[in-house]
Amino acid sequence: MEWLSRIFGKKEQTGHARPAQVFFFNTLSGNKELFISQKPGIATMYTCGPTVYGQQHIGNLRPGMLSDTIARTLGAANYRVHRVINITDVGHLVGDGDKGADKIAVGAEREKTTPQAIADRYAKQFIEDLADLNIDTADIDFPRATDYIKEQIALAKTLEEKGFAYFLPDGLYFDTQKFPGYGKLGGLGGAHLTAGARVEVVKGKRHPSDFVLWRRAKVNDLQQWDSPWGRGNPGWHIECSAMIRSLLGQEIDIHTGGEDLAQIHHNNEIAQSEAASGRTFVHYWLHNAFLTMSGEKISKSLGNVVHLSDIIAKGFDPLALRYFYLQAHYRTPLSFSWDALAGAAEALGRLQRLARDIAEESRRVSEPSEARERFLVAMRDDLSTPQALAVIWEVLRSEEYTPEEKWGLILDAEAHLGLSLTNSTAPAPRESAAAPKEVLDMLAKREKARMDKDFASADRLRSDIENSGYRVDDGPNGPVLTRTTL
């Protein structure tokens, strides 16, 4: 069974399982690369988290799903993963550049409260949303920018001492032309940014891509601290560099975030961290594509936001959203609609019921199989969740595998995807089971028509079912038949 030890990792003499091979698409190189951690068996990962000035929408939760899928996949490949997701509670200005109001101050004004209260409220809600998505929040550090002011000042000071910064009347700026290779991430060439292109012009800046490290306070700034450059507050980018340095070290394995962050925010993080340490900052950069709705990015400024709380209020299990995310590869834009979510809920319900039946048939005894290898290969090939889900559906519905082999696959699926397949409480379709075979056949055909988006046939089948004395309700766990005549 050579392949088994290759995939599951051989036991080393120390008793620690050797990590299995995992490949990630690295935005830095533009290639899929074998993951090699700095320290054997340990992976450090940082994710740019939310600016907590309002409730996070389901687009903002996609980066959380990416980092969770990485952590689960590396965990199952025998890595110990140290994870950090920061909470931005100061410094991020409306418009993302170096001008404008601080988003947290805007939130505080809107809700007539303090920056701290706004940050507390929405950070808590964000972490609860992640937990609802079955992300293990106890295993993640959630540092806040305002708790690392001292560290941000120290880093800015180092950059100034090393000649990478210059002072203007409104603050201390990073001189991007002093840092060779500025803008290397994503081949986007941040050094070629021109004035007015996304970055607002600040008078006296030496180059349009230069960015603020420390901003001098305006009189009415709600959050301000003493610093060598006067009272003020940190620039947005420096918090990530400072918190990574404090919590994970000067050189980390993985950094993730939404793809919109790569061009400016992440190139600026690289510039600050590498200029200060002289070392490689991050070895693997992974970025998720956007969640869209009706062809547009879901975003607060476009006003087309959906929150996890809206999804729960409509009676969906949050795991339906999890399943929905996993149906697409993380580097593919994903289009949200309520119909698509309902489809994901139905599919998840069916999968959970299949898994529960297999739990019984196998008596929860697992056996290895070639199917498990195919599943692991998909997950370890840059987190190919659509292919991994396809393997699960194919195998669980097939007669070629024993219940024990299927249960083995379900255990792997649960570890990597977290879809509550091993402890599902999805209701059994009892009413459905009691219905006559021709009604069940019509129900199955209607399900297929719905999956194929053939709504005319689905509607016709629904009225055929009703004419046979049954009603169909599409619940979050799949369709339920209820008898309407005696």
Give the Å distances, CA to CA, from 89 to 104, 142, 223, 331: 6, 12, 10, 28
The Cα 402–Cα 400 span in angstroms is 7
Q: How far is the CB of 268 from Zn ion (least distance, A)?
A: 9
How is residue 321 written in tokens?
Answer: 């959203």
The Cα 137–Cα 147 span in angstroms is 19
221 binds, among ligand AMP, Zn ion, none (CB under 5 to 8 A by kind): none
Give the Å distances, CA to CA, from 379 to 222, 384, 402, 411: 46, 5, 23, 14
The Cα 235–Cα 213 span in angstroms is 5
Render 298-350 in DSSP notation, one character per residue. --GGGT----HHHHHHTT--HHHHHHHHHTS-TTS-EEE-HHHHHHHHHHHHH
51 is a contact residue toward ligand AMP (CB under 6 A): yes
Q: How far is the CB of 265 from Zn ion (least distance, A)?
A: 5
50 is a contact residue toward ligand AMP (CB under 6 A): yes
Q: How far is the CB of 61 from ligand AMP (least distance, A)?
A: 8
The Cα 363–Cα 413 span in angstroms is 18
Over the window 164 to 203, marking each residue x when it contacts ligand AMP by CB under 6 A and - when it does not, the resulting string is: ----------------------------------------
**Contact predicate 47/67, CB 8 Å:** yes
**Span near ligand AMP by CB under 6 A; candidates 182-190, 287-295, 312-320, 421-429:** 287-295
48 is a contact residue toward Zn ion (CB under 5 A): yes
Question: Residue 301 contacts by C-beta under 8 Å, 6 or more apart in sequence?
Answer: none
Q: How far is the CB of 251 from Zn ion (least distance, A)?
A: 16
299 binds, among Zn ion, ligand AMP, none (CB under 5 to 8 A by kind): ligand AMP
Through-space distance between the first and last CA atoms of the chain, rounded to whole angstroms: 58
Residues 295-314 that bind ligand AMP (CB under 6 A): 297-299
240 binds, among Zn ion, ligand AMP, none (CB under 5 to 8 A by kind): Zn ion
Instruction: Pick from 202, 240, 282, 291 the residue near Zn ion by CB under 5 A.
Output: 240
Number of H-type helices and E-type strands within the chain: 16, 16
**Span near ligand AMP by CB under 6 A; candidates 149-157, 196-204, 286-294, 396-404:** 286-294
Residues 379-438 that bind ligand AMP (CB under 6 A): none
Question: Residue 198 contacts by C-beta under 8 Å, 6 or more apart in sequence?
Answer: 96, 97, 263, 264
The strand pairing partners of 44, in sequence order, are: 82
Q: How far is the CB of 409 from Zn ion (least distance, A)?
A: 37
Residue whose CB is less far from ligand AMP, 248 or 276: 248
Residue whose CB is less far from ligand AMP, 20 or 135: 135
Instruction: Pick from 63, 91, 403, 418 the residue near ligand AMP by CB under 6 A.
Output: 63
Residues 129-168 that bind ligand AMP (CB under 6 A): none
235 is a contact residue toward ligand AMP (CB under 6 A): no
* Binding site residues, ligand AMP, CB under 6 A: 48, 50-51, 59-60, 62-63, 257-258, 260-261, 288, 290-291, 297-299
